[in-house]
Structure 1
Amino acid sequence: MVSCAWSLTEGDNPSGNTSPVIGFDLEYPDNYSMRHSLYIVEENEKLILWNFIGDPDDFRLQDFVKEQQ
């Protein structure tokens, strides 16, 4: 079973601005742990969660957008 805790902090994004960041701390049974972060921005009146793909200096970002149902 994997345990997960989250926190809300601030971090620098590629545009040089500061954004809120949701951080997920995952802990696996074999003493392996990992942190996954999603940045929060507002774009066109929508809340966007995003993260880097590959090297952050490449400015290739992945958006996670909740669609209307």
Structure 2
Amino acid sequence: MSFQAYLDTIHKKTGLTPAGLRRLADEQGWTEGGILKPSTKAGALVAWFKEHHELGHGHSMAIFALLKGVKKEGDA
């Protein structure tokens, strides 16, 4: 599955686009100005998305990768 496919599925399940995910991350305090805070741990973010949006581990990790800047929209 491509990274973009993960983002597409996340959008279908949550209604959140990458921009929306970034806004949510700022609201939750995981990022500041769109940059992932060093104190933000993948496990905490993954657990939150599993609980609040019923996403699986892989989709939640895709969000972490997006916020960390490791992956971006359109990546394979």
User: Per the shorter chain, which TM-score range?
Assistant: under 0.3
Length-normalised TM-score, structure 2: 0.23
Of structures 1 and 2, the one scoring higher in RCO (CA 8 A, sep 6+) is 2
Q: Which of the pair has more CA radius of gyration?
A: 1
Bigger fraction of residues in strand: 1
Q: Which has the higher helix share?
A: 2
